[in-house]
Amino acid sequence: MPKFSIEKLNEIRNSKGYTLKELAEMTDIPHSTISKIFAGFNKNPSIEAVQKIANALECGIDDFIEYEVEPKSPYYTDRQTGKIAQEIYENKDLRILFDASKDLSPEDIKAVVEIAKRIKSTKK
């Protein structure tokens, strides 16, 4: 499901060096409306407004849309495995841990698992 990204929108605007006032003038959208869009108060601006903003920023609408992707790979045996893979993909620290563990011996993996279990049990 696509989601309007205020972060991406502001990143593009800032990279172009436009103020909100300048963007309002360029798009003929009221400054108050532009302010609400860029502050995230208007989470679903009209497609017309979005297209005007994209044109003024010389980019496409897709440049500030985020698409939530659910892993649907046939490599995953179940939904939970896909969810775990997505978490590893999205979290840099988990990726580092996973990459580091790939080269460990079975004995070292058991030791790391024991440490993780102990840490987890102390957090309860």
CA distance 17 to 2: 26
CA distance 96 to 7: 26
Which amino acid, 85?
A
Specify the pLDDT at position 3: 75
Query: Which residues have CB under 8 Å from 63's CB, separation 6+?
Result: 8, 12, 54, 57
CATH topology (fold) of 2-67: 434 Repressor (Amino-terminal Domain) (1.10.260)
Specify the pLDDT at position 17: 94
Rounded to two decimals, what is the model's pTM?
0.53
Q: Which residue ranges does the chain devote to CATH 1.10.260.40?
A: 2-67
The list of the chain residues with pLDDT below 70 reads 1-2, 68-77, 124
Query: HSE on the CB side for 108, CA within 13 Å?
Result: 6
